[in-house]
Amino acid sequence: MTLNVERIRRDFPILSRTVHGKPLVYLDNAATSQKPRQVIDALSAYYSRFNANIHRGIHALAEEATAAYEAVRERTARFIRAPSPRAVVFTRNATEAINLFANGWGRSRLGPGDEILLSEMEHHSNLVPWQLLAKATGSSLAFIPITDDGRLQLDRLDALLTPRTKLVAVTHMSNVLGTINPVAQLAERAHRQGALVLLDAAQSAPHLPLDVQQLGCDALAFSSHKMLGPTGVGVLYAREELLEAMEPFLGGGEMISDVQLTSATWNEIPWKFEAGTPNIAGVIAFGEALAYLERVGMAQVRAHERELTAYAFTRLRELDGVTLYGPPGDAEDRGGAVSFNLEGLHPHDVGTVLDAEGVAIRAGHHCAKPLMRRLGVPATARASFYLYNTREEVDRLLDALHAVQAFFGRPAPARPVR
């Protein structure tokens, strides 16, 4: 079954706007997705009909708001096949979810001699929190290297996974390379060594059917805004017994059970981790985003993006002097984030000219500087697809890239020193 993309596009008001006089071609979905009117409407419906603080009120509005908020927790649990909504904590974004786990789980458990195993392809949000944790606890970091085609070097895993390894924290899908990592295999081998597994699912949750039980991960983090929802909402999933044993990350209202002047006891999970008034409107609208994706079907979203990615690779290859990063376009283990460079041109110049053509892509280091060093480039251009993108938009991207090359010409080779 294929997607009715024309119908889907009508749900996204922004897709009908123009940029510099040209119809917008939005290919920066790995940074953030656009929002359907169902999500936009849900934000204003909350504020115009049942705005109230949750969990504490004894009036009708507070009850309605609380019910709506908690219903999204249940929907989120179903979306990722979590066994219980108690395993779902709302945060500000995936970054905060990872920081929550690093602090709540790691601070009291790790010490000198312990290791956290990451990979060379991590986004800074799944790297810097572990650097901070390692510094605070005296533990150390190790890294799974990647192959030249952007896959994890799993043959190095036996040497890297040792009894010292307490946690493996890797991305499910690379925001630069598009690589989908073999999580089930990774989790099985990590668990055999007694290590836990945290997945950065910021790129995978929007684009793949997710099943945390099948993946075998112990914790998983993702963001609403990359999957049709509003900014300011993230999710940490973790197995209930882990959450039970974890220390709170933020202290304040709602997360307590009782408070004395010099001490406090904690609320039950997951509320123990949700101090202060959360992004109620955002969470409720995120529920609409999940409902939208469920209606379309994540398997259909994935199939549509696989087809677009394969097509984009075929078309990009026709460019003179193009370098494509990550697994091949038709590979089963790749998603729709496509990084590339044009010989002799900096991605910022490519991005500036594409923008003039109405085509929005990302150019830069994509918050993955160690990966850029591994690839030997300062930056890449990146086009990333979602359910509303079309083959015609890939063609517009290619027309614009041809225009880039025509505009700059091919730079002359470096002259000898005079």
Partner 1 sequence: MVEQLDELYREVILEHFKNPTHSGELPDAQIRASGVNPLCGDELAFHVKLRDGRLERVRFRGKGCVISQAAASMLATQLEGKTVREAERIMDAMKGLMKGQEPDASADLGDLEALAGVRKFPVRIKCAALSWNVVEQGLEAHAHGGH
**Residues acting as catalytic residues:** 367
Span near partner 1 by CB under 8 A; candidates 59-67, 74-82, 250-258, 345-353: 345-353
Nearest to 371, CA basis, from 330, 339, 334: 339
Span near partner 1 by CB under 8 A; candidates 48-56, 74-82, 223-231, 364-372: 364-372
- CA angle, corner 169, sides to 167 and 170, nearest 5? 150
- Name, in order, each residue with C-beta under 8 angstroms of 155's C-beta and a sequence gap of 6 or more: none
Binding flag, residue 408, partner 1 (CB under 8 A): yes
Binding flag, residue 159, partner 1 (CB under 8 A): no
What does the DSSP assignment read for 142-211?
EEE-B-TTS-B-GGGHHHH--TTEEEEEEESB-TTT-BBP-HHHHHHHHHHTT-EEEEE-TTTTTTS---
Binding flag, residue 417, partner 1 (CB under 8 A): yes
**Residue 320 Cβ vs partner 1, minimum distance, rounded to whole Å:** 16
Nearest to 276, CA basis, from 68, 96, 23: 96
**Residue 391 Cβ vs partner 1, minimum distance, rounded to whole Å:** 25
Span near partner 1 by CB under 8 A; candidates 40-48, 111-119, 272-280, 372-380: 372-380
**Residue 367 Cβ vs partner 1, minimum distance, rounded to whole Å:** 11
Tell me which residue has tokens 């836990």. Answer: 196
Span near partner 1 by CB under 8 A; candidates 131-139, 237-245, 279-287, 371-379: 371-379
Span near partner 1 by CB under 8 A; candidates 305-313, 318-326, 391-399, 407-415: 407-415
Quick check: 22 and 353 in contact, CB under 8 A? no
> Could you say which residues in the range 239-258 bind partner 1, by CB under 8 A?
none
Rounded Cα distance between 297 and 302, Å, is 9
Q: To the nearest 10°, report the CA torsion of 77, 199, 215, 365.
A: 110
Binding flag, residue 418, partner 1 (CB under 8 A): yes
Binding flag, residue 5, partner 1 (CB under 8 A): no
**Residue 322 Cβ vs partner 1, minimum distance, rounded to whole Å:** 18
**Residue 202 Cβ vs partner 1, minimum distance, rounded to whole Å:** 21
**Residue 325 Cβ vs partner 1, minimum distance, rounded to whole Å:** 15
**Choice from 102, 121, 284, 379 touching partner 1 (CB under 8 A):** 379
**Choice from 348, 368, 390, 399 touching partner 1 (CB under 8 A):** 348
Binding flag, residue 324, partner 1 (CB under 8 A): no
Binding flag, residue 291, partner 1 (CB under 8 A): no
Decide: helix, strand or coil at residue 120: coil
Quick check: 225 and 233 in contact, CB under 8 A? yes
Nearer of residues 91 and 175 to partner 1, judged by Cβ: 175
Nearer of residues 75 and 365 to partner 1, judged by Cβ: 365
Quick check: 276 and 252 in contact, CB under 8 A? yes
- CA angle, corner 309, sides to 308 and 314, nearest 5? 100
Decide: helix, strand or coil at residue 276: coil
**Residue 171 Cβ vs partner 1, minimum distance, rounded to whole Å:** 22
Nearest to 277, CA basis, from 254, 251, 257: 254
Q: How far is CA 281 from the centre of its chain?
A: 21
**Choice from 10, 81, 315, 346 touching partner 1 (CB under 8 A):** 346
Rounded Cα distance between 212 and 46, Å, is 30
Nearer of residues 19 and 142 to partner 1, judged by Cβ: 19
Nearest to 289, CA basis, from 223, 341, 346: 223
Instruction: Kindly state the tokens that stand for 402.
Output: 């041809």
**Choice from 364, 370, 374, 390 touching partner 1 (CB under 8 A):** 364
Binding flag, residue 269, partner 1 (CB under 8 A): no
Decide: helix, strand or coil at residue 258: strand
Binding flag, residue 378, partner 1 (CB under 8 A): yes
Number of residues that bind partner 1 (CB under 8 A): 27
Binding flag, residue 376, partner 1 (CB under 8 A): no
Span near partner 1 by CB under 8 A; candidates 252-260, 313-321, 327-335, 405-413: 405-413
Binding flag, residue 21, partner 1 (CB under 8 A): yes
**Residue 12 Cβ vs partner 1, minimum distance, rounded to whole Å:** 25
Order of all β-strands in the sheet with 362-364: 322-324, 337-342, 380-384, 362-364
Interface residues with partner 1 (CB under 8 A) are 20-21, 345-349, 352-353, 356, 363-365, 372, 377-379, 403, 407-409, 411-412, 414-415, 417-418
